[in-house]
Amino acid sequence: MDHEFHQLRVAEVKRETPDSVSVRLEVPEPLRGTFAFKAGQHLTFRREIGGEEVRRNYSVCVAPSEGLLKIGVKRIAGGAFSGWVNEALKAGDTLDVMAPHGSFCWNFEAQARRHYVAFAGGSGITPILSLMKTALAVESQSQFTLFYGNRTSAGVMFLEEIAGLKDRYIDRLGVFHFLEDEEEEIQVFNGRLDRAKIDVLLSSLVDPAHVDAFFICGPGPMMDAAEEALQARNVEPSRILVERFTTGPLSAAQAAAARALEEKAAGLKMSITLNGRRMNVTFDPANRSILDNVRAAGMPAPFACKGGVCATCRAKVTAGEVSMKVNYGLTAQELAEGYVLTCQATPVSEGVSLTYDV
């Protein structure tokens, strides 16, 4: 993967709701290959704010077939980057952007006849919109059901666009909105998408046994509730695709165990490959993670969230052993293939060798 940042010009900033915008980026011809993406992937942005480098990931909200590159950005309380995008960013500005990445993806096939179900909350709609449009466009016989939770109707991102898709794919797309702060006539559509409501939906509106894949993206509690409800119905993990934007802190016990492991790893030698260059790095617990040790050694290893969520810091272990504090960004298959999130990783053996060039 290309780990460089590229300067892309902003073609359009469109207000979607009072606290969100969509941003369309121009991709010059020589960078078309670099910025080709799969539905569900995201982009890493970099900007200096208040003398500090800030990195954020935002999901692409269009289908690859649309020939556009567009993200949705919801302002979060105290969010330096999202606040700046919502208030100050305008057409003609440039943004530092890394090539698309992420594994919240599905292999859509033209001949398939499938049923997909998505649970989205708030700005979690962005990657799901990309997946939904792609599923409907690529698989002309497939069905898609969207359960979309928000606080108010005014805060629903892409409301008109989703209504347009509903008209266009009238027989194949089902859309159900859930509002926390507004009363609907039908009781089930009031309130948040919690476990009890999701259980009702899985018993009445969709039968998990006949669903090929579930896509889940939104606030943590909603995602946990959806995942737990599906697991309780014995849906195989390979049919549950989850994309997290943020995660909570470690418990005190987890943090203490992670710290002890870092201390134990002091002095372990690692061989790191990045951008075709190989370097030996000695683990220093003061730098906490393999990622920060690699960067402290002068290698510009990629990262964004540093919270185990976005997988921007992904690398492959080719020798030795490492341990991760948390992993919300890698699939079971990636883990089996030896990938780790270096922002969460500590070496637990001598002779760890890992490469970012995969």
Question: Of residues 40, 127, 155, 308, which one binds ligand FES by CB under 6 A?
Answer: 308
Rounded to whole angstroms, the Cα distance separating 75 from 108 reads: 32
Using CA atoms, how far apart are residues 172 and 141, in angstroms rounded to an integer?
8
DSSP 82-149: HHHHHHT--TT-EEEEEPPB--------TT---EEEEEEEGGGHHHHHHHHHHHHHH-TT-EEEEEEE
Region binding ligand FES by CB under 6 A among candidate stretches 18-26, 29-37, 306-314, 331-339: 306-314
- Non-local CB neighbours of 76 within 8 Å, separated by 6+ positions: 82
* Binding of ligand FES by 315 (CB under 6 A): no
Please state the closest distance from residue 254 (CB atom) to ligand FES, in A: 16
Binding footprint of ligand FES, residue count (CB under 6 A)? 14
Report the nearest approach of ligand FES to the CB of residue 343 (Å): 3
Whichever of 165 and 322 has its CB closer to ligand FES, that residue is 322
Q: Does residue 5 contact residue 46 with C-beta atoms inside 8 Å?
A: yes
Q: Is 303 in the site for ligand FES (CB under 6 A)?
A: yes
Contact by Cβ (8 Å): 271, 349? no
Chain positions 324 to 353 lying near ligand FES, rule: CB under 6 A, are 329, 341, 343
Q: Which of these ranges, 112-120, 124-132, 185-193, 299-307, lies near ligand FES under the rule CB under 6 A?
A: 299-307
Question: Any alpha helices (H) in the chain, and if so which ranges?
Answer: 80-87, 125-138, 159-168, 195-204, 220-232, 252-264, 290-296, 332-336
- Answer for which of 27, 281, 309, 354 binds ligand FES (CB under 6 A) is 309
Can residue 102 be called a binding residue for ligand FES (CB under 6 A)? Answer: no
> Any contact of residue 313 with ligand FES (CB under 6 A)?
yes
312, 322, 339, 352: residue in contact with ligand FES (rule CB under 6 A): 312
Which residue number places its CB atom closest to ligand FES?
343
Tokens of 270: 């690692």
> What's the closest the beta carbon of residue 350 comes to ligand FES, in angstroms?
24
CA distance 144 to 262: 45
Q: Which residues bind ligand FES (CB under 6 A)?
A: 303-313, 329, 341, 343
